Each structure stands twice: as C-alpha cells, then as structure tokens.
Chain A
Amino acid sequence: MMALLVVETVILAVLCVLVGGLLRGYASVLRRLHQLDGGAAGGPAAGPPPFRTAPGVIEPVADIADPVTGQRIEGRDEWAAAHDIEGVSLRGEIVSVRTLGVPHDTVLAFLSASCEGCAGFWHELAEGGWTAPPGSRLLVVTKSAEAESPSVLSQLCPPEVDLVLSSQAWTDYSVPGSPYLVVTDGRTGRVKGEGSGVSFSQIGGLIQQSIADSRHPALAHRPDADRRRERDIDRILLGAGIGPNDPSLYGAAERDEH
C-alpha cells in the first residue's frame, strides 16, 4: 500500500513537471507571437514592427499624430498642412478662424468679386441653395481689401455666410486662382481635398463624399494594421511607377479580362 502511494506520488510529480513545461512552452510561443505583432518584450504593445523594404525600394514615410487625440493618422503626411485664417470680415471685424486642432472639417472657398468663374458660387450662396455638409464649416476667403472690392462683396455675399478678406490665407494655401476650394481636416490639421469648379453644386458631391468617407464605419473599423499595410504597399508601388490597373499587377488570365 505504501509502495503504491509512493508510485502515485512520483507519477503525479512527473505529470506536474510535464504540464508546467507545456504551459511554459505555450507562454514562450505567445510571447514570441506578441513580439512579432509589434509588442515590446516584457512590456505593453508598442505598435507594429517597422515596414521593411528591399534595398532600392522607396521607404514608407512615417505617419503624423492627430493633434486632438494624439493618435497617429495614416497617410496624412502626404497632404499639405492647413493653416488657421486671420483677416477682416465685411463688417470690419478683425477675425481669427480656426481650421487646426478643431473637431470639424472646414470648406474654404477662395473666391473673388471680379472673377467670372465665381459667379455660380456667389449665386448659390445668395440663393442659400448650398450648405456645407453636416459637421463641417464653410468659409469664403477673398483677397484683402486692397486687392478686392468690399462693397461689391457685400452685395454678393449674404450676411449669414462667413467671409474673410485675407491675402495671407491665399498665400498660405498656395491658391493658384479663383474659384478654388480647399477642404481641411480639423483633427489632423491637413488639407484633405482641393480643386476648382463652376459651382458648389458641381463639386459639393465630391466634398460630401470626401467628408462622409472619412467617417464611414467601414473605414473607421478596419484593423489599423490592414490599413497601414495597404497604404504602405500602395505607396511603394506608386514609387516604383506601378499605378492602379497596371498590367504587371495581374496574371495572364486577369490581364485579358482587363
């Protein structure tokens, strides 16, 4: 009886050692996987490992931080920096308008009183037929009073529409001419779209789409790592001269379809 008890105890001890070793093995596998996924050894996760490329391939550029949340926002380094706007309103107010570090987007419409192409924009503003997408702000920016006609602007622009005369803003945003629209992302402090057109209605859809896309749950909930890898791969392919629908991206059968 005593011998049986001793044998059982020995078997139990051996099993304990085996289970302990097994758990330790699992722990080391998990630790290694954690490190491969960007976690620091023995500490909390510190982001994914850097994306490496072969010699001669363009290195991906680092992202910038969101000034509001402190989180890094992918791809924003490609966009021009936005600027707060200072100038004078048609009521003679000395104005400072924030476009940086704010929770909303700003649609900047660079217009002029003497610009033929701006007529459609002024008309829609007077008619009240176009408003900035929800969660964004419309600001009309003309050059300063020495280069504009404030009296004509007063007649063109309804008092409800925010208008700032600021040649400095035209310089800051490198505006090539009027009409010209720039959409800034207040959270990242970057330009998220710009271009020209004939009226707000014509380009309003694109503005709306750009703002809506950035808030769409499908984009918002995609894993960060997926988006980051996709962005880096796109950048490297573009750097190597391979754009969308490039034949080299497809196999023979797919090439025929394209």
Chain B
Amino acid sequence: MAVTAPRRLAGHGLSVGLLPQWEARIYRRTVGAVPAATPASAPAPAPAKRSAQPYGAGWPGEQSHPILHLANFPLPAARGDYGTGAVERMGPEHIFLALLEFGADCLGTALYAPTGLPRLTPGQFNPNGMQRRVAGQAGYQHFFTEAGRPFCLYVVIGSHRQAVPLTKQVNAVLEQIEVAR
C-alpha cells in the first residue's frame, strides 16, 4: 500500500503534518477584542451567560504570539494557552502538545539558548512538570530557539506509567512540525 504524506495545517509561520487521530489548532490570541454590533437583519442573539473569552482575554498592552496546539483527542473550544480546559479531559492514552512563541526580546537570553525542536525521552516527563498537577499525568517543558524564533514546548502525557509508548508518539509528532523564518 502506498504511504501518503500526512495532511498539513499551516498558519502564522508554523506548519504541522497531522498524523492519524491527531488534530491541531494554530492561533494568535486576539488582545482586547471588542464584539462587533449586531446587524439589524440578523436574528436576536440569545442572552450571553458566559464570558466571550473564558481563557485568553489578555490584558491591555499585551503582545500576542503564535501558538500551536496538537492533541490525539478532541480539543475543546475553550482552552488556555497551556492546555487548561483540555488536559482535564485527557485519558491515559492521550497527549497534549503546545508550542508557544515568545517575543523577540527573548532572543539571545540564556533560557532560549538551546536550538532546534527537541526530541524527548520518557525520563524527561515528570508529574511536577505540569502547569497544574492532574492525577496520573506528567508534563515536560523546554525553552529553545528555532528558525530565529524563541519558543516554549509544553507536552502533557495522559499516563506517566505509559511514558515509553507515549513519548514515541510525541517524537513522531515533533518530526512533523516546521517553523518558518
């Protein structure tokens, strides 16, 4: 059987080939967005019960940068940049991966000195590496520079016990990520 290249999703200078069962979202948070007025021809909107941007409303003067989210489970619409709202839904076989770009002022600093997207080993995952601990899960965070852009890679695996097979999947997905200059 012929092997076809995975479908690619691209935007904001980031591109990723989507392996089976994986889905992705690339975005740049809108800072200080104000909802537009409703046209007269449109049906009356239902009363809003919740905030328009539960995660990611930002703050005045904030600079937003591209973010790539990848997961092998359905990503919810409302998520934090580091996966809040998504990691709580993960099962033991699931993986959440976030690639977050930072401002150019970070370039050349010691934190971002490593170059290139890393490849991970199972031992690098740690339950204390999570933004917020979730039972059974483990996380990994790494700062680096790729194509002259400073990034943070944040990965959560659904089961620390399954770190070996899950890390293989993580590395397969990392192979598919391309960063444009």
Contacts and interface: CB of A to CB of B under 8 A. Distances in A.
A127 B27 contact: no
B181 interface: no
A168 to B, nearest CB: 13
Contacts of B23: 96-98
Interface string A147-179: 001011011101111110000000000000000
B45 A155 contact: yes
B35 interface: yes
A94 B42 contact: no
A165 to B, nearest CB: 13
Contacts of A151: 35-38
B27 A93 contact: yes
A34 interface: no
A162 B46 contact: no
Contacts of B51: 159
B77 A127 contact: no
Interface in A209-246: none
B30 A155 contact: no
A98 B9 CA distance: 12
Contacts of A116: 43
Interface residues of A, number: 39
A161 B78 CA distance: 8
Interface in A81-104: 84, 86, 89, 91-98, 101-102, 104
Interface stretch (A8-16, A51-59, A118-126): A118-126
B18 interface: yes
Chain B interface mostly: loop
Contacts of B56: 91
Interface string A50-89: 0000000000000000000000000000000000101001
B20 interface: yes
Contact of B49 (A137, A158, A162): A158
B21 A102 contact: yes
Given A126-B48, A151-B35, A160 B77 contact: yes
B41 interface: yes
Nearest 10 CB-CB pairs, A to B?
Answer: A151-B36, A126-B46, A93-B27, A155-B45, A94-B11, A162-B77, A94-B26, A152-B42, A93-B25, A98-B23
Given A98-B23, A114-B42, 13 more contacts: A93-B25, A94-B25, A96-B9, A96-B23, A102-B74, A122-B43, A126-B46, A151-B35, A152-B39, A154-B52, A158-B49, A159-B53, A160-B78
27 contacts: A84-B7, A89-B27, A91-B53, A96-B9, A96-B18, A97-B23, A98-B21, A98-B74, A102-B74, A116-B43, A119-B43, A122-B43, A122-B45, A137-B74, A151-B37, A151-B38, A154-B35, A155-B38, A156-B46, A158-B49, A159-B54, A160-B54, A160-B76, A160-B77, A161-B77, A162-B76, A163-B77
